[in-house]
């Protein structure tokens, strides 16, 4: 009587387990509110993302896209309903706060050619780097390729399309430096 031999490598198993954990996080764990959800996320998120610093907190309903390319520093706070897109690489520095309903998007559509529909031009990705000790206020949108310097404050509802120098207070659509922090 012959049996079926299944040869699954350790790396294949880890990839499948990581994907399954991401599915469980996305459809269940990220939606659990208050202390029970916070405790579960504190346990699960470090297993999904590349780096998760001590003392960091992820609130309710935070979406993690390609979490294995997301690096979260120490004592980072991410408020509810935030999208963290790791497709192009995402680095969040220590002691940074990201306000509710913000979008940190590292991938978007190509649109340069007019002879081809946008939907057929594919996507491009660029990493986003958020420095240390930053405050990204509510409903801010960070677009692919931006770098936010250390100590920056980005005002609510801003759309960040270019780099913001360190210790700047910036806001608006498109986001512009309003003044420097001293």
CA pair distance 120, 111, nearest whole angstrom: 9
Q: What is the pLDDT of residues 50-107, one digit of tens each?
A: 999 999 999 999 999 999 999 999 999 999 999 999 999 999 999 999 999 999 999 9
Residue 8 lies in a domain: no
Residue 1 lies in a domain: no
174 cis-preceded (ω within 30 degrees of 0):
yes
The enclosing domain of 132 has a CATH number of 2.160.10.10
Q: What is the pLDDT of residue 132?
A: 98
* pTM of the predicted structure, to 2 decimals: 0.90
Active site residues: 109
Residue 152 lies in a domain: yes
**Averaged confidence pLDDT in the chain:** 93
Residue 171 lies in a domain: yes
Q: What is the pLDDT of residue 2?
A: 55
Residue 141 lies in a domain: yes
Residue 34 lies in a domain: no
Q: What is the pLDDT of residue 12?
A: 63
pLDDT greater than 90 at residue 175? yes
Distances (CA, A) of 156 to 11, 57, 121, 135: 42, 20, 32, 10
Count of the separate structural domains present in the chain: 1
- Average pLDDT of 15-29? 87
Q: What is the pLDDT of residue 17?
A: 81
Domain span holding position 151: 49-111+123-180
CA pair distance 109, 119, nearest whole angstrom: 8
Q: What is the pLDDT of residues 111-147, one digit of tens each?
A: 999 999 999 999 999 999 999 999 999 999 999 999 9
């Amino acid at each position: 009587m012959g049996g079926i031999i299944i040869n699954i490598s350790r790396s294949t198993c880890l990839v499948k387990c990581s994907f399954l954990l991401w599915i469980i996080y996305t459809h269940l764990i990220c939606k659990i509110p208050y202390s029970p959800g916070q405790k579960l996320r504190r346990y699960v998120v470090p297993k999904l993302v590349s780096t998760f610093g001590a003392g960091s907190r992820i609130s309710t309903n935070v979406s993690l896209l390609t979490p294995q390319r997301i690096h979260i520093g120490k004592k980072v706070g991410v408020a509810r309903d935030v999208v963290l897109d790791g497709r192009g690489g995402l680095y969040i520095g220590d002691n940074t706060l990201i306000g509710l309903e913000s979008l940190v998007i590292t991938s978007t559509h190509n649109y340069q050619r007019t002879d081809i529909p946008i939907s057929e031009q594919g996507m491009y990705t660029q990493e986003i780097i958020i420095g240390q000790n930053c405050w990204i206020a509510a409903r801010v949108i960070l677009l692919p390729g931006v770098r936010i310097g250390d100590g920056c404050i980005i005002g609510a509802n801003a759309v960040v399309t270019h780099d913001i120098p360190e210790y700047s207070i910036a806001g608006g659509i498109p986001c512009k430096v309003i003044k420097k922090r001293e």
